[in-house]
Amino acid sequence: MKTVFITGSSRGLGLEFTKQYLEKGYLVIASCRTPEKAKALHDLKMQYSDTLSLIQLDVTKEKERDRAFDEINEVFDSIDILINNAGIISGDGKNLYNLGDVHKEDFMKVLEINSLAPLLMSEKFLPLLEKVTNAKIINMTSQNGSITQRTQGGKYSYCTSKAALNMITKILSNDLREKEITVLAIQPGWIQTDMGGVNAPLKPAEPISKIIELVETKEIADTGKFLTQEGKELPW
- Domain membership of residue 26 (yes or no) is yes
| pLDDT, averaged across the chain | 94
- Domain membership of residue 235 (yes or no) is no
Q: What is the pLDDT of residues 168-186, one digit of tens each?
A: 999 999 999 999 999 999 9
Quick one: pLDDT at residue 91? 82
Which of helix, strand or coil describes residue 212?
Answer: helix
> The pTM is what?
0.95
- 87-120: buried (b, 16+ CB within 10 Å) or exposed (e) per residue? bbbbbeeeeebeeeeebeebbebbbbbbbbbbbb
Q: Domain tally for the chain?
A: 1
- Domain membership of residue 86 (yes or no) is yes
- Domain membership of residue 154 (yes or no) is yes
Quick one: pLDDT at residue 192? 66
Quick one: pLDDT at residue 127? 98
Look at residue 8 and tell me whether its pLDDT is greater than 60.
yes
Look at residue 219 and tell me whether its pLDDT is greater than 90.
yes
Quick one: pLDDT at residue 92? 79
- Domain membership of residue 140 (yes or no) is yes
Q: What is the pLDDT of residues 70-117, one digit of tens each?
A: 999 999 999 999 999 999 998 877 788 889 999 899 999 999 999 999
Domain that holds residue 67: 3-228
In sequence order, the 6+-apart residues with CB closer than 8 A to the CB of 232 are none
Mean pLDDT, residues 8-36: 96
- Domain membership of residue 236 (yes or no) is no
- CATH number of the domain where residue 221 is located: 3.40.50.720
- Domain membership of residue 234 (yes or no) is no
- Domain membership of residue 233 (yes or no) is no
Of 3, 233, 1, the residue nearest 136 (C-alpha): 3
Look at residue 36 and tell me whether its pLDDT is greater than 70.
yes
